[in-house]
Chains A and B, each alone.
Chain A
Amino acid sequence: MASAVLIENLQKSYGSTVAVKNISFKVEPGEIFGLLGPNGAGKTTTIRCLCTLAKPDAGKIEIGGLSVIEKPRQARKKLGYVAQEVALDKILTGRELLELQAALYHLPETGSKQRINKLLQLLGLEEYADRKTGTYSGGLRKRLDLAAGLLHQPDLLVLDEPTVGLDIESRFIVWDFLRKLREAGTTVLITSHYLEEIDALADRLAIIDRGEVIAEGSPSELKDRVGGDRVTLKIREFSPQEEAEKAKEILQNVPFVEEVIINQAQGNSLNLIVTHGNSSLSKIETTLEEIGLPTFSIAQSRPSLDDVYLAATGRTLMDAELAAAGSRDLKAEKKQQMKQI
């Protein structure tokens, strides 16, 4: 059976900006696959190429064995796309939007009425169906967009950052719904820069950084691969840099401690990598006491996806986010994108 999605050596630049340097990954039928990476890593560009909205500079893209580049129209029939920013015509009602969508996918009128009702019901939208979408909340808009993406029963549903800007409740509703979709046999590809989202949903994932895949596998595989346990230690709620440096120096000499990283984004807390099953939190605390430092909090855990990201890139996802936020010119990016649409 062909992979649900096959992307090989995808490359895409906008002018002189390289958005996707070299991305390859495979999504198997029936799984939820996550693309994880900080903003600006190339996730959306990859998705745009996959959904026939942008033409790749090089590389191979297939949906269910069908080349998206050679047969875009057939590929479009197989995929549903839920964009990051929900674009609804605010003058139309939810139902009218779905009716338009049904016609764009050439569903016969009789069957599509039923299907629209069914999806409105499944997504808890019946009450709102005949109101203008301009009155919808963010959560309702996202649900309507999900309904629109699923109207033609695609093999593959692609969601770009499905829960950005949603409240917690809506977020869980979307998660729940995506799991239900997987159960029903639909392949789901989501991008996210939320670790917990990918961790909670994805059967497998690829981590993308600066236009390249830096890791691919199931969440547990990837975590096991980095090895060790993680200890997060705060000397005080906010420690001065020198104090953190001092603690780092002494802790590096503890036998079971493999590495110490100062996390500036978290008030100079210390992230320790320790040998799995052979470490002691009290030993760490006493070591600090000996040089006169208190312990505000200390916790041990198995590695998270963030540790996977950290191991591969040398920075945490949040640091990457912050760095990207500062260096990104959203206006220029929007301009570049307009040239493509």
Chain B
Amino acid sequence: MSQSTITPSNLENSLSPSSLVGDRLESDSSILGEFAQETIALTKRLFIQLQRRPSTLIAGIIQPMMWLILFGALFYHAPQGLFGDDMSYGTFLAPGVIVFTAFSGALNAGLPVMFDREFGFLNRLLVAPLASRFSIVAASTLYIISLALIQAAVIVIVSGFVGAGWPSLVEIAAIALIIFLIVLGVTALSLGLAFALPGHIELIAVIFVTNLPLLFASTALAPLSFMAGWLQIIASLNPLTYAIEPIRYLYLNGDWSLSSVVMQTPWGDLNFGSVLLVLLGFDALVLLLIQPLLRRRFA
């Protein structure tokens, strides 16, 4: 304990309630301005944490590299043309790794919130007059998206050097949009779980049983045509597939538009535009679902 005591002072205005002294630091901003302010502050906290504890980011870059190298080597002697004409498995794999990396990061988004809950830090947020508790979701999403984009950039660059090809600027923007859509939904889902589950052990358990199965039940590692019929159905319902397939299409086809057919599901072909709509629908559904969890006690 320090020796310094609190400066004695006569009647100290700054200790008086603002309603008495009238020098209220009142925000004159709209509810939207307030939402932005709290979201930016919460995001800043996450970035300060990242800056002072960068191990998550470093691991998050090393891991997809290992996926690329190990899975690439695993299928190194796959028969030529198995994944399409002149396509190496590395080229096939890169979009899968980009999406899976973003997905894993988003799935873990609830963990910091869960720890905040367990350590009581969340109380600090909940007793504050937040414009909306969705600012907690927004801050986590912004943070995870930034991480996912950094990771994706590294994967794109590394895969470019190993021969997967170089996407154009528009394609990069399209990839970023798709990452945004998948990260938003999964982050919201993870945060919903962080509010709903009793503790971090349970949350980790859910992450554990969701993470790899969703990877294997998507087209990240193998195309739909390789799969058993039932798995094709599951993979065609898996949001990851809806993020992987359009990115893969961008990688393989120089000319594309919103009406390009990017996915062939058991129940029909889907074009680029409708795949984006499915991802949007997924986000909307999750945000609606977690609404009651965020409002559980008081709005």
Q: Which residues of A contact B (CB under 8 A)?
A: 51-55, 69, 72-74, 76-79, 81, 83, 85, 87-89, 91-92, 96, 99-101, 103-108, 111-112, 115, 118-119, 121-124, 127-128, 137-140, 143, 148, 150, 152-156, 167, 169-170, 173, 176-177, 180-181, 183-187, 335, 338-341
Besides A104-B129, A153-B18, A153-B21, 4 other A-B contacts (C-beta < 8 A)? A69-B298, A105-B129, A124-B2, A155-B19
- For B257, what are the chain A residues with a Cβ–Cβ distance below 8 Å? none
Picked from A78, A124, A128, A183, the residue with its CB within 8 Å of the CB of B5 is A124
Q: Does B253 contact A (CB under 8 A)?
A: no
Q: How far apart sit A232 and B118, CA to CA, in the bound complex (Å)? A: 45
Q: How far apart sit A327 and B26, CA to CA, in the bound complex (Å)? A: 47
The smallest beta-carbon distance between B144 and chain A, in angstroms, is 18
Q: How many residues of B contact A (CB 8 A)?
A: 57
* B25–A112 CB distance below 8 A: yes
Picked from A87, A123, A127, the residue with its CB within 8 Å of the CB of B120 is A87
- For A92, what are the chain B residues with a Cβ–Cβ distance below 8 Å? 45, 48-49
* A106–B48 CB distance below 8 A: no
Say whether, besides A55-B298, A101-B124, A106-B34, A122 and B12 are in contact (CB < 8 Å).
yes
- For B124, what are the chain A residues with a Cβ–Cβ distance below 8 Å? 87, 101, 104, 148
* B41–A100 CB distance below 8 A: yes
Q: How far apart sit A154 and B20, CA to CA, in the bound complex (Å)? A: 10
- For B41, what are the chain A residues with a Cβ–Cβ distance below 8 Å? 99-100, 103-104
- For B131, what are the chain A residues with a Cβ–Cβ distance below 8 Å? 106
* B14–A122 CB distance below 8 A: yes
- For B204, what are the chain A residues with a Cβ–Cβ distance below 8 Å? none
The smallest beta-carbon distance between A203 and chain B, in angstroms, is 17
* B38–A104 CB distance below 8 A: yes
Query: What total count of A-B pairs have CB within 8 Å?
Result: 167
* B5–A106 CB distance below 8 A: no
Most A C-beta atoms less than 10 A away, residue of B44, B52, B129? B129
The smallest beta-carbon distance between A55 and chain B, in angstroms, is 5
Q: Does B209 contact A (CB under 8 A)?
A: no
* B123–A341 CB distance below 8 A: yes
The smallest beta-carbon distance between A68 and chain B, in angstroms, is 8
Picked from A107, A185, A187, the residue with its CB within 8 Å of the CB of B27 is A107
Q: Does B11 contact A (CB under 8 A)?
A: yes
The smallest beta-carbon distance between B255 and chain A, in angstroms, is 46
Q: How far apart sit A155 and B116, CA to CA, in the bound complex (Å)? A: 27
Say whether, besides A73-B129, A153-B14, A180-B15, A124 and B27 are in contact (CB < 8 Å).
no
- For A186, what are the chain B residues with a Cβ–Cβ distance below 8 Å? 15-17
The smallest beta-carbon distance between A32 and chain B, in angstroms, is 13
Contact mask B210-242 → A, CB, 8 Å, 1/0? Answer: 000000000000000000000000000000000
Q: How far apart sit A3 and B106, CA to CA, in the bound complex (Å)? A: 47
Say whether, besides A104-B125, A106-B29, A137-B2, A52 and B298 are in contact (CB < 8 Å).
yes
